[in-house]
Amino acid sequence: MRTVRLALAQLNMTVGDIEGNARKIVDTLARARGQGANLVLFPELAISGYPPEDLLLKPDFIEANLRALDEIRRATAHITAVVGYPAADEYDIYNAAAVLQNGTLVGTYRKHYLPNYGVFDENRYFGEGLESPVFDFGGDIVGVSICEDIWYPVGPPQLQALSGGAELLANISASPYYRGKGHDRERMIATRAADNVAIVAYCNLVGGQDELVFDGHSLVVGPRGEVLARGPAFEEALILVDVDLEEVFRARLHDPRRRKDVELARQFSPQVPRVEAAPLVEDPEDRPPIEPTLADPPEPLEEVYGALVLGTRDYVRKNGFETVVLGLSGGIDSSLTATIAVDALGADHVVGVAMPSRFSSEGSVRDARALARNLGIRLLTIPIEAPFQGYLDALADAFAGTPFGVAEENIQARIRGNYLMALSNKFGWLVLTTGNKSESAVGYATLYGDTAGGFAPIKDVFKTLVYDLARWRNARPDGPIIPESVLTKPPSAELRPNQKDTDTLPPYDVLDVILELYVERDYSAQEIVEQGFAPALVERVIRMVDRAEYKRRQVPPGIKITTRAFGKDRRLPITNRYRYRTE
């Protein structure tokens, strides 16, 4: 029996904090060694943090990262580690994995498939790897790959398993989250393990980085596609599991089809060099068995909420803020955003501001107070009536003969934005904006008003999902938090008498379906009509989306939770005359 104790270091790294990331890696090596681990995997670009973007264009950044790698190398006595870092030679830099053992650099692997879609820009920075080495640890054969390399059915892990005989395929990753990705990723990893009759160990990054959240959900899957270990979502963990490499050999003996694949793969053997190293396991008899980490995957709404909490916490903390401030209107969006902020940072680090106007209903003011009381946060009340009347007086001559309209409505939103930014400047608080994806999509927001701020937690959350998340959070053991009246009253900006969102927009349960088809799936207007929507409605919504591109360029970053978030995911020109039309 050839049993190897694997440790998957599912860590939260910070981009650019090379010294801090290195210390975390060294400390984790000590923890893993203390628990009898033989092989420890760290995430993709663990030393630099992911994605480092244009930091990679700074030679001193690369050099500092290499010095950190050398420090980590010296900490690998009696243990083997795979550590992600930016490597360099005289020609280029590479997204690489260092294989370290007993204080030596055994070898490196360079990532082959460099994603350049969605939020990724790796072709901008890295050269491609050309070899798929396997590491022979005294007869235990390990293939190392990085993130995207394992998403292709025919890629480096397959070559390592077929041509190189790798029994353990170790993949280090920084795979950004979107709804349902954990399930999709687990299915893919199980397929790779079964197809290659190998154990696959997949170590993913966890944490927030600007718009991105990395969910962890690291995995070890056996040669029949069975999950042997699973890390938790949205939290750091050291995932331990004992794997029997002899089981891989037995499984391969029972799969004669694999022999044909091996014959075909032999032609690629020059690309699969073998690197000799010391055995992974030194004293197997001195180690009692362990129970593997096997965390349950979160439910769908719990998953999204967890991503929003982690993304908010890390953006605030990693950027040096302690406290956030946001406007509390008594509406659903600000209520959910405040609740996320408290769950992320604690009630002592969240300040709500009620800014009532002549149009604010008593119910909304009451709901804002009730929410603040339920959350245990400080609530400031700063009416906007005096400055609003001052604006109207100052503009009276310029506006003479015109009816009350959007200009007067937006003045109120901008006063509120000014209030929040003044508090931010005075006390060093980060302003959270509370707009959702539905509003951002159609431009139902005021530039320099409700879009003013530093971070937008629910920027990628459609309005219907906002309600679902609020109801889910209210159903938790410490709930309900958000007053029921917030969930049941018609949504309104309350910028004019008796205003409702449906005065300007279709009902959100209709709007969000159209937006998902157009924004996330790139359906044409005619294709959306064929889903059962009125042509005039479809054209109207698409026109609003297209015209609002300039607004979306000026809003704060927010957490990506869908497959097509505005920003890095969906990039359209502002100056653009192409328009979809129904037939």
Catalytic residue among 90, 122, 131, 147: 147
Q: Is 551 a catalytic residue?
A: no
Catalytic residue among 111, 318, 437, 463: 111
Q: Is 128 a catalytic residue?
A: no
User: 525 burial class (0-12, 13-18, 19+ CB within 10 angstroms)?
Assistant: buried
**Nearest CA to 325 among 360, 356, 349?**
349
Kindly write down the DSSP assignment for every residue of 329-363, as one continuous string. Answer: -SSHHHHHHHHHHHHHH-GGGEEEEE---TT--HH
Q: Is 560 a catalytic residue?
A: no
State the residue for tokens 């003011």: 365
Phi-psi region of 165 (alpha: psi -120 to 50; beta: other; left: phi over 0): left
3-class SS letters over 402-445: CCCCHHHHHHHHHHHHHHHHHHHHHHCCEEECCCCHHHHHHCCC
SS3 assignment, position 102: coil
Residue 248 is encoded by which pair of tokens? Answer: 């891989």
Nearby residues of 137 by Cβ (< 8 Å), 6 or more positions away: 80, 101, 277, 278, 279, 280
Q: What backbone torsions phi and psi does residue 421 show, to the nearest 5 degrees?
A: -70, -30
State the residue for tokens 């690309």: 271
Nearby residues of 497 by Cβ (< 8 Å), 6 or more positions away: 359
Catalytic residue among 24, 44, 148, 463: 44
Q: What backbone torsions phi and psi does residue 243 show, to the nearest 5 degrees?
A: -120, 140
Alpha-carbon gap, residue 449 to 495, rounded angstroms:
12
What is the end-to-end Cα distance of the chain in Å, rounded? 68
Which amino acid does the sequence have at 372?
A: A
Nearby residues of 105 by Cβ (< 8 Å), 6 or more positions away: 73, 98, 99
The set of catalytic residues is 44, 111, 147
